[in-house]
Structure 1
Amino acid sequence: MSPSRAKDFQQCPLLFRFRAVDRLPEPPSAAAVKGSLVHAVLERLFDLPAAGRTEEAAQSLLDPEWSRLQAERPDVVSMFAGPEDLGAWLAQARSLLTQYFRMENPQRLEPAEREMLVETELASGVLLRGFVDRLDVAPNGAVRVVDYKTGKAPNPRFQDEALFQMRFYALMLWRLNGTVPARLQLVYLGNGRTLTHDPVEAELVALEKHLDRLWETISAAAATGDFQPRVSRLCDWCSFQSLCPKFGGEVPPMPPEGVEHLLTARAAPQ
């Protein structure tokens, strides 16, 4: 179970099913692909020696990373009506890189990890997996988990929801290493704001219990095939409206192999 799939189920069980069980393809999203492009540039930036980590260097990485992304996913070109549309989109990506340099000085940072795959197993046997954008370790051993966001920081009312992913990472790192990360940091390039949170053990214990309960609910849905749709304002951005009964669609039969794949999120008993 990953942070994104856990969030999908909490948002809409049917959306979760289409992504995690049916594993249906989705058209590329301009916002999501822009995020992938900017993340790739910031990851490559730290391949350079500290003195070379300038804004000019970051901007020079954007076109090669865009070419690499197109080679990996040719369908991304379909997002644009023409060269002017693409040019405006690339200009937005460049402005996000400019914003990054207003928020951090990468010449003063030496990340311990970048795009780090983290996997762990909870006591219940539920397997967790996620990718951490950046892990910083201070001289005293304190760990900071950093995630870049190319959108805008949320209203304070929705900060707990935004921190769900970061607490998920903190839980995995705690279970792996035995130490709670000192700080969780979300860097919002869309409006130049940073959201930080210093987690404590009690909240990670509570999250672990929540994820165990969530997995039991997911397992029950898989056993019965009952993944109910949940209508919200997020439906406007859903790729699967044509298959959703709330929008007049018909849900396809659930593939048995998809259910089998889903249930590998729990470790086999020893």
Structure 2
Amino acid sequence: MTQTATADPRLGARRPALSPSRASDFKQCPLLYRFRAVDRLPELPTKAQLRGTLVHSVLERLFALPQPDRLPHRAKSLLEPVWTELSAQNPDWAGLFGDEEPADVAEWLGGAEKLLDSYFALEDPRRFDPEACELHVEIELTSGVRLRGYVDRLDVAPTGELRVVDYKTGAAPREIGEAKAMFQMKFYAVVLWRLRGIVPRQLKLMYLTDGQSLAYTPDEPELRRFERTLEAIWEAILRAGKTGDFRPNKSRLCDWCAHQSRCPSFGGTPPDYPGWPEPDPGEETPLDRAD
């Protein structure tokens, strides 16, 4: 059910763009943005991140089933085959489990089952059909900034109202996680507003770890202000990109950073600046979208 909101063959190679994850990285720490988007340093995912990616993929497959079949046991039956498929596509993911006993892997999959239980406690997927899951959206603003991202799910009411849904499975501190998540949702709201001319009626975050949801209704003036914020972030990124001056910003989120050994704030030394990447420093990964 993956769909693409733009498909212009005249674009050729993908142009540099801003994604919600990379914009959030730069806001959090310009050096983190550089490590991920410019240096493209590898990061070993955690098992929790992989579990989130797995659950996102299972929910996407669930909505591909006929409405009456969207039941908890069907969702859980998808876990093992989807994990087999994902680990075949990403062999390093399976390597995280090393020589662990089958019982340990089963326990990890059991954690994914609990996330699915939380999902079904929040809504009944048999009652509606989303317009799209894992929707690729992309647009260039009049300022020249290109925005790109993936929406977990887009629901469209018979009246035409839009609901943007995002599943959250991570364990970052709630106040920090909510701020980052709402930044991401407003990003999607701006893109959909500019693509369709409709301000989304609702931005909905579904927290599958604790079985709670958070809904927010944006308005057009707010999205205009947020659009200007995104343009300012991109301008700051381009300025830093010309010189390589991506400075660290120490915060509580450093505890989750995979690059402390390279960070001056922790006594490390970044690699030599490789120059601004082409053609596309804005790409998101499945792990970004599962965070």
TM-score when normalising by structure 1: 0.92
Structure 1, residues 25-57: CA drift from partner, whole Å, max 9, x if none?
111221211111000000000111111111010
Q: Which residue matches 1:113?
A: 132
Kindly indicate whether residue 20 of structure 2 is the aligned counterpart of residue 3 of structure 1: yes
Q: Which residue matches 2:198?
A: 179
Match of 1:190, SS state, is coil
Supply the AA of the counterpart residue of 1:143.
L
Q: Which residue matches 1:35?
A: 52
* Equivalent position to 2:164, from 136, 142, 145: 145
Would you say the 8 A contact 1:110–1:136 is kept in 2? yes
In 2, the alpha carbon distance for the partners of 1:129 and 1:179 equals 18
Aligned pairs for 1:69-108 within 5 A: 69-80=86-97, 82-83=100-101, 84-108=103-127
In 2, the alpha carbon distance for the partners of 1:244 and 1:155 equals 25
Would you say the 8 A contact 2:148–2:282 is kept in 1? no
* Equivalent position to 2:29, from 5, 12, 15: 12
Would you say the 8 A contact 1:3–1:168 is kept in 2? yes
Aligned CA distance change for structure 1 residues 93 and 262 (closer, same or farther; 3 Å): same
Would you say the 8 A contact 2:67–2:126 is kept in 1? yes
In 1, the alpha carbon distance for the partners of 2:47 and 2:195 equals 35
Kindly indicate whether residue 250 of structure 2 is the aligned counterpart of residue 219 of structure 1: no
Supply the AA of the counterpart residue of 1:109.
F
Deviation, structure 1 residue 109: 1.5
What RMSD in Å do the two structures reach over aligned CA positions?
Answer: 1.9
Would you say the 8 A contact 1:111–1:135 is kept in 2? yes
Structure 1, residues 98-152: CA drift from partner, whole Å, max 9, x if none?
1111111010020011110000111110000010111111111111011111136
Mean CA deviation greater in 204-213 or 79-88: 79-88
Kindly indicate whether residue 253 of structure 2 is the aligned counterpart of residue 234 of structure 1: yes
Structure 1, residues 215-253: CA drift from partner, whole Å, max 9, x if none?
111111111111001111211211111211122211111
Match of 2:155, SS state, is strand
Match of 1:47, SS state, is coil
State the aligned residue count. Answer: 264
Deviation, structure 1 residue 158: 6.5
Would you say the 8 A contact 1:154–1:162 is kept in 2? no
Q: Which residue matches 1:253?
A: 272
Match of 1:34, SS state, is helix
Q: Which residue matches 1:268?
A: none
Aligned CA distance change for structure 1 residues 58 and 25 (closer, same or farther; 3 Å): same
Would you say the 8 A contact 2:132–2:154 is kept in 1? yes
TM-score when normalising by structure 2: 0.86
Q: Which residue matches 1:203?
A: 222
Aligned CA distance change for structure 1 residues 18 and 153 (closer, same or farther; 3 Å): closer
In 1, the alpha carbon distance for the partners of 2:154 and 2:281 equals 30
Which of the pair is proportionally richer in helix? Answer: 1
Supply the AA of the counterpart residue of 1:3.
P
Identical pairs, percent: 54
In 1, the alpha carbon distance for the partners of 2:71 and 2:41 equals 40
In 1, the alpha carbon distance for the partners of 2:134 and 2:277 equals 28
Q: Which residue matches 2:81?
A: 64
**Structure 2: which 5+ runs fail to align?**
1-17, 284-291
In 2, the alpha carbon distance for the partners of 1:118 and 1:239 equals 28
Deviation, structure 1 residue 160: 4.2
In 2, the alpha carbon distance for the partners of 1:157 and 1:91 equals 27
Mean CA deviation greater in 225-234 or 157-166: 157-166
Would you say the 8 A contact 1:116–1:132 is kept in 2? yes
Match of 1:209, SS state, is helix
Runs of 4+ in 1 over 6 A off after TM superposition: none
Aligned CA distance change for structure 1 residues 33 and 85 (closer, same or farther; 3 Å): same
In 2, the alpha carbon distance for the partners of 1:5 and 1:92 equals 28
Match of 1:123, SS state, is coil
**Structure 1: which 5+ runs fail to align?**
266-270
